[in-house]
Amino acid sequence: MTSVNSDKLSSARFAQATDAFVEEFTASVDFDRRMAQQDIQGSVAHATMLASCGILTEQERDAIVAGLAQISEDIVNGEFVWSVKQEDVHMNIEARLTDMIGVAGKKLHTGRSRNDQVATDIRLYLRGEIVHIAAQATRLQVAILDLAEQHVDTIMPGFTHLQVAQPITFGHHLMAWFEMLSRDQERLRDCCKRINVMPLGAAALAGTSYPIDRDLTAHLLGFSGPSANSLDSVSDRDFAIEFAAVASLIMMHLSRFSEELVLWSSAQFDFIDMPDAFCTGSSIMPQKKNPDVPELVRGKSGRVTGHLVSLLMLMKSQPLAYNKDNQEDKEPLFDTVDTLVNCLRAYADMVPHISAKKDNMYSAAKRGFATATDLADYLVRKGMAFRDAHEVVGSAVRLGLESGRDLSELALPELQQFSVLVDADVFNHLTLEGSVAARKHVGGTAPERVKDAIQVARKRLALSFP
């Protein structure tokens, strides 16, 4: 043992003070002080409930509430002195309260443990952060809708296997991103239901012998109600894992989004121009304009998924009920929140300034025989079986490849040599415009459908976030 300290928590139990390194090693105040305001909010509700149940006097409650209000202000103003000796955010605040108001401060912890306290703090914290996350996601959705509206009839190639597949509209492609985010928003709301349950009253693990009113505390804190089992209440971190899973999904979506922006802004694709303010230059190659924001977001998606895995591993072998392992939940969780908010924000700021290079998109769609399926569908409508039509079109594509022309540039007699079913009206189907316009069913890429989809999406957004 190197050296010892003397202000140990529950010091009467211990003959020796904590090793100085162990004190540092086990402390969490450097990071869990982020939940100070939630800790105070929980304590105010707890003290209010204790007084209402006759466990504290009204004077004691008033002293506690006033003291906590002062501490809250000091923290906001940066005047609160945090100490590693007090281990964590909970003990720091309680110790300061006792310094300020004396014996009433020592009564605050009646019928409570740090185990139910910390679980409550994390839930309050996450509930608040999800509001910010959802707001940034909504900003991004609005930006996507605005951009999609400008491009309901901008034609581009749609890809499968990153090979030109069929023509689509850029608006339709953007709306695919919108849909991913809509599901993300739904998942955020859903996971909130399980976050918003109150553990206070579970105390250390077995509940408390005081005549507490858990419904009142839950009501005061805006929780949907008290948790059902005291052991589960202090040990459960499912809600944090669920949140990290939702965050990982959102980041995975942003990462795919990023990958496309990086590709599209390359000289090889040249489909979009990225706003200068969101790119940087190279220190050596003067011609470069690098899509740093999408690349960084793509990179950060790995780190959020890493946090999800950390949390799963953290929990997987813990016996009931609370274990100190749980202290390790906070850093991955906080970093998940920060990373997610920042990435969504960067995207919401950037997307309105992306400009599409329509001509390049159009000619890329033309180069890739994107209307081959339309020719096959045309033959099918004239009575040919789809598999035969597939063959016929394959031959037409070969002729196009050999002669360096798109299907719409082949002459009518050239097409007719592959099938007698081909008539002059075939060219209505071989143009990119004809191809997208034909896909006018629900969920299709036709400009009129994309317009509808945008309208429906705007209504849905307004309904979920009035």
Interface ranges with ligand ARG (CB under 6 A): 28, 32, 88, 114-115, 118, 322, 324, 326-327
Rounded distance, CA 216 to CA 61, Å? 15
Task: Give min distance, CB of 327 to ligand ARG, in A.
Answer: 4
Task: Give min distance, CB of 28 to ligand ARG, in A.
Answer: 4
Q: Of 118 and 142, which CB lies nearer to ligand ARG in the complex structure?
A: 118
Active site residue 161: yes
88-115 core/surface letters (b: 16 or more CB in 10 A; e: else):
bbbbbbbbbbbebbeebbebbbbbbbbb
Q: Of 122 and 457, which CB lies nearer to ligand ARG in the complex structure?
A: 122
Q: Which residues contact 184 (CB under 8 A, 6 or more apart)?
A: 137, 246, 249, 250, 253
Q: Of 117 and 445, which CB lies nearer to ligand ARG in the complex structure?
A: 117
Beta bridge partners of 19: 4
Q: Of 38 and 327, which CB lies nearer to ligand ARG in the complex structure?
A: 327
Q: Of 33 and 458, which CB lies nearer to ligand ARG in the complex structure?
A: 33
Active site residue 46: no
Let me know how long the chain is: 466
The catalytic residue among 161, 209, 317, 441 is 161
What single string gives the DSSP state of each residue in 110-124?
TT--HHHHHHHHHHH
Residue whose C-alpha is closest to residue 185's, from 462, 442, 454: 462
Task: Give min distance, CB of 214 to ligand ARG, in A.
Answer: 19
The catalytic residue among 11, 224, 266, 282 is 282
Residue appearing with tokens 């906070």: 330
Task: Give min distance, CB of 223 to ligand ARG, in A.
Answer: 19
Q: At 137, phi and psi to the nearest 5?
A: -65, -40
Rounded distance, CA 204 to CA 411, Å? 83
Catalytic residues: 161, 282
